[in-house]
A and B are shown apart, each in its own frame.
Chain A
């Protein structure tokens, strides 16, 4: 199967999946306790029954759930995520201003955890019973076991408070002046601690997986062939073995995107990172249904897209899948 047809098929499945995500989340949120009309009325101060009814009518909350769902689905189909109850802005605009920050954080964390995890795994695999291997095992288990918010706060204490190398919070300096290059540097500077915090949880899994995968591959017949050709050991490890050992890591990386995005929510809250996580946190507290729904939909879409991209990457990396028409 050619790649274009493959992408088309994956996109179609992705859309079907998105439909169920929307319906399920819509129903779940309406079933959860709390009434957005009361929250909005509370924010306004005084409250009467007429005002409540008025608010409900404004936002369509007086109609049956099935009708609300139908209206909502119609909106979504037109690409309209609705108006935020609380911020009084289009949800699309709210998310639009924050999605970049979240994607940046998630991709940075993914990159850091894969790179460092693979390097750790490779070194551990070179001597499976050695000291490095044991250290990697201890460190990666620890990283996996520690709660994100704790790791985040510890990193802030050490690297922002004791040793003021990195900023405590936010994504850019308050009174920033300078060119676009300096701006990029400023954002990266702010990115380090949150990205590392988020990466540490996933690092452990990549390191273990890379170690196991690398040990297996280094024992393969084709590695012996490479050595018999006179290939230098460094090239055996980083060219012949690593290309094969990263394949399972790619698969797991794709599956981790969902977890990364939910992990990002916590990290964003700890570091006050202006992404979708902080927005989700605020809108859940305020029963801001449209915003919560919008975030869920966009989050799910990000996961779907990430999975399609991962599979495409996998097809590039493993020639066996390309010719077998996408089957594994």
Chain B
């Protein structure tokens, strides 16, 4: 089966006051139809930039796609004309954002905001679009959709607004749904509902999902595959089970260590003491040196880690870490 989305060696640069910084440094991701890829990492690791790059929404300037390729069903998106990208956005790729409170336009009724997406991509009348919007509101579990369709965003709660956002994102039955931290701004109880909804929609529409999050618990529940990102690179990538059960990169181990152990599914892992933390913060991108970007925070780092950036190696479960490569090599010999 050919991949639905094939991102290869994507490089994105931003012009800043500190000169050009590389926000994405050779990111590669693959997504099969109907699959869920979890993208995890701390704030600033390039998760959202990756999503925006796939949507063709990197602000340029200051941004620039310096290299690589993004293929959707074999069609190259980098350098594709804006007209074509506009067709794909909202029709083939739907996106849900982090902030439901501010992601809907405050001066338009939510029904109209859903209908707009339908009218842009489908040859239907206004009435038909409205009927579709009403169905979508029902699909995403908005109670009393007949009333809510004429509500303004400020009249809805955060959870309902996020449901409206999801309705917009799936309005044209996309093949790919990108959810960029869809629950970060919501109450915990609502978070679970939104994840359930996304999974339900995925089952129903067979849409592939990229779930961007720093919530390893959500990854454990939702993702088929996981890509762990750090400072603009993918440092570990593979099946979700493999990564959660036997994380190979010290950063991934750190992330999993940060999950509160009360979650029984993960308490069973019991590899690190509950609520560990990763010392330090993601380095500012303009200060990145030659070596592994994580070296300064890594308790296991050795000399080579500070000198040479490790490549992502391994089939199926790939890791970018010198230590892991050395361990794997010694196992084989």
A→B interface (CB under 8 Å): 220-222, 224-233, 240, 243-244, 317-320, 323
| Chain A residues, CB < 8 A from B89 | 227-230
Q: Which of B99-107, B128-136, B139-147, B187-195 contacts A (4 or more CB under 8 A)?
A: B99-107
A68 to chain B, nearest CB (A): 52
* Cα distance, A226 to B165, chains bound together (Å): 11
| Chain B residues, CB < 8 A from A226 | 105
* Cα distance, A288 to B94, chains bound together (Å): 71
Shortest Cβ distance from B171 into A: residue: A229
| Chain A residues, CB < 8 A from B165 | 225
A247 to chain B, nearest CB (A): 8
A221 to B90, Cβ gap below 8 A?
no
7 A-B residue pairs with CB within 8 Å: A221-B99, A226-B105, A228-B57, A229-B90, A230-B88, A230-B91, A319-B107
| Chain A residues, CB < 8 A from B116 | 229, 231
B168 to A243, Cβ gap below 8 A?
no
Q: Does B272 contact A (CB under 8 A)?
A: no
* Cα distance, A320 to B108, chains bound together (Å): 10
Closest 4 A-B residue pairs measured CB to CB?
Answer: A230-B90, A230-B89, A229-B90, A221-B102
Q: Mark B24-62, 1 if CB is under 8 A from A, else 0.
A: 000000000000000000000000000000010100000
A319 to B105, Cβ gap below 8 A?
no
* Cα distance, A227 to B85, chains bound together (Å): 10
CB contact list, B52-102 vs A, under 8 A:
55, 57, 82, 86-91, 94-95, 97, 99, 102
| Chain B residues, CB < 8 A from A319 | 106-107, 109, 152, 154
The contact of A222 among B105, B120, B155, by CB within 8 Å, is B105
Q: Does B317 contact A (CB under 8 A)?
A: no
| Chain A residues, CB < 8 A from B108 | 240, 243
B207 to chain A, nearest CB (A): 15
Shortest Cβ distance from B118 into A: residue: A229
Shortest Cβ distance from A231 into B: residue: B120
Q: Does B214 contact A (CB under 8 A)?
A: no
Chain B contact-residue range equals 20 to 34
| Chain A residues, CB < 8 A from B306 | none
Q: Mark B296-320, 1 if CB is under 8 A from A, else 0.
A: 0000000000000000000000000
| Chain A residues, CB < 8 A from B86 | 230-232
B120 to A221, Cβ gap below 8 A?
no
A41 to chain B, nearest CB (A): 62
B55 to A228, Cβ gap below 8 A?
yes
The contact of B120 among A224, A230, A323, by CB within 8 Å, is A230
| Chain B residues, CB < 8 A from A244 | 105-107
B152 to A320, Cβ gap below 8 A?
yes
Shortest Cβ distance from B121 into A: residue: A230
| Chain B residues, CB < 8 A from A232 | 86
* Cα distance, A222 to B116, chains bound together (Å): 13
| Chain A residues, CB < 8 A from B97 | 221, 224-225, 228
* Cα distance, A222 to B154, chains bound together (Å): 13
> Known: A222-B102, A224-B97, A230-B91. Contact between A318 and B107, CB under 8 A?
yes
The contact of A229 among B106, B107, B120, by CB within 8 Å, is B120
* Cα distance, A229 to B92, chains bound together (Å): 10
Given contacts A228-B90, A231-B86, 5 further A-B contacts (CB under 8 A): A221-B99, A229-B168, A230-B89, A243-B108, A319-B152
CB contact list, B131-179 vs A, under 8 A:
152, 154-155, 165, 168-169
| Chain A residues, CB < 8 A from B243 | none
B57 to A323, Cβ gap below 8 A?
no
B103 to A224, Cβ gap below 8 A?
yes
Q: Mark B106-124, 1 if CB is under 8 A from A, else 0.
A: 1111000000110011000
* Cα distance, A233 to B86, chains bound together (Å): 9
